[in-house]
């Protein structure tokens, strides 16, 4: 099996991940505080090529969102073929040239982890340091598949979800990747808790920011912690992630408005710092178990 030459691939207009811009049916991108996220989908059954030259960008992890994808990955002129079902993953080191023939349709959610993140997270590790991820191709990973499904709506509508939520999902992915493919030893959550001062400061920041794009690293810096350490400590202390805790506080505020005012649902959504009425109804239903309108009618 012979690979298409790198110059020939470069002659075709491609994106930052080496995908041909002309063949992509869907191309989404979302920038988190620490990671970059992409979704790339092709519907054509024709073979397409990917090529990216070696760089210092770090590592890329791909999670298949669909069934029955095959690709041939080349080292030199020799290629090996791999199959991907839904939830199958691959890891890729950007420090090496990457060439592949993509056979038929595919749909991948991709996570780019920069080298700077590995340097930061090493401060939290209790055993050996981690410089990267082991190379895997086509391996099933139900945890990453679940996290990718949760992240996909934010990629589709990047203006309607918070930086906090995206950061949390990114760190959950990063932590899992370190454990499964980096051999990292992370501190147990039972040994990681916030002091009362740090807990109050974090909650104050969450409540005061309103709809602003508050990032997880921003809060963690106020507590003199890394973002990953802070996320584990906050959840161990409160029982919720920061995003879950903030949404719960907003729903409690909304309940007070529903009980004691005649404001419309749209007005309450604005008053409680939801993005819009649809966002308010969705979050309220997830936490309370009914829509805000139905909950108010039961009160009356």
CA-derived radius of gyration, the chain:
22
Is 6-181 CATH 2.60.120.10? yes
Work out the percent of the chain whose per-residue pLDDT is above 90. Answer: 65
Closest CA to 94 of 148, 176, 16, 22: 16
CA–CA distance, 298 with 270 (Å, rounded to integer): 23
The tens digit of pLDDT for each residue in 195-250 reads 999 999 999 999 987 656 788 999 999 999 889 889 989 999 999 999 999 999 99
Query: Token pair 């999670």 is at which residue?
Result: 63
| Cα first-last separation, the chain | 72
Token pair, residue 225, equals: 């912690």
pLDDT 10s digits, 239-253: 999 999 999 999 999
The beta-strand segments (E) located in 98-197 are 98-103, 106-113, 137-140
Q: Considering only CA atoms, which of 267, 30, 245 is closest in space to residue 153?
A: 30
**Quick one: average pLDDT of 149-153?**
94
pLDDT of residue 1: 40
Q: Which of 6-20, 24-38, 142-156 has the lowest mean pLDDT?
A: 6-20
Mean pLDDT confidence for 152-161 = 81
The answer to whether the beta carbons of residues 175 and 130 sit under 8 Å apart is: no
Q: What is 247-299's CATH topology?
A: Arc Repressor Mutant, subunit A (1.10.10)
Rounded to an integer, the average pLDDT of 103-107 is 91
Residue-level pLDDT at 3: 44
Nearest to 265 by CA among 252, 249, 250, 278: 278
């Amino acid at each position: 099996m012979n690979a298409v030459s790198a110059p020939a691939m470069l002659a075709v207009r491609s994106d930052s991940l080496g995908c041909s811009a002309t063949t992509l049916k869907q191309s989404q991108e979302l920038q988190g505080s620490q990671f970059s996220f992409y979704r790339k989908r092709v519907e054509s059954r024709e073979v397409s090529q990917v090529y990216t030259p070696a760089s210092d960008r770090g590592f890329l992890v791909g999670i298949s969102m669909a069934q029955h994808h095959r690709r041939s990955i080349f080292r030199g002129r020799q290629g090996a073929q791999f199959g991907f079902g839904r939830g199958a993953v691959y890891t890729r080191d950007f420090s090496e040239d990457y060439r592949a023939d993509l056979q038929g349709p595919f749909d991948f959610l991709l996570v780019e982890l920069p080298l700077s993140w590995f340097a930061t997270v090493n401060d939290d590790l209790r055993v050996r340091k981690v410089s990267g991820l082991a190379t895997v191709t086509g391996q099933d990973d139900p945890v990453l598949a679940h996290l990718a499904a949760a992240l996909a709506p934010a990629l589709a509508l990047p203006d309607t979800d918070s930086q906090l939520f995206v950061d949390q999902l990114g760190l959950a992915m990063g932590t899992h990747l370190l454990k499964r493919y980096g051999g990292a030893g992370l501190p147990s959550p039972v040994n990681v808790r916030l002091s009362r001062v740090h807990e109050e400061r974090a909650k104050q920041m969450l409540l005061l920011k309103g709809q602003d794009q508050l990032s997880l690293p921003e809060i963690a810096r106020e507590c003199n912690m890394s973002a990953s350490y802070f996320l584990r400590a906050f959840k161990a202390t409160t029982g919720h992630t920061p995003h879950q805790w903030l949404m719960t506080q907003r729903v409690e505020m909304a309940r007070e408005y529903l009980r004691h005012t005649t404001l419309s649902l749209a007005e309450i959504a604005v008053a409680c710092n939801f993005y819009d009425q649809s966002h308010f109804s969705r979050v309220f239903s997830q936490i309370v178990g009914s829509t805000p309108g139905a909950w108010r009618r039961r009160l009356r």
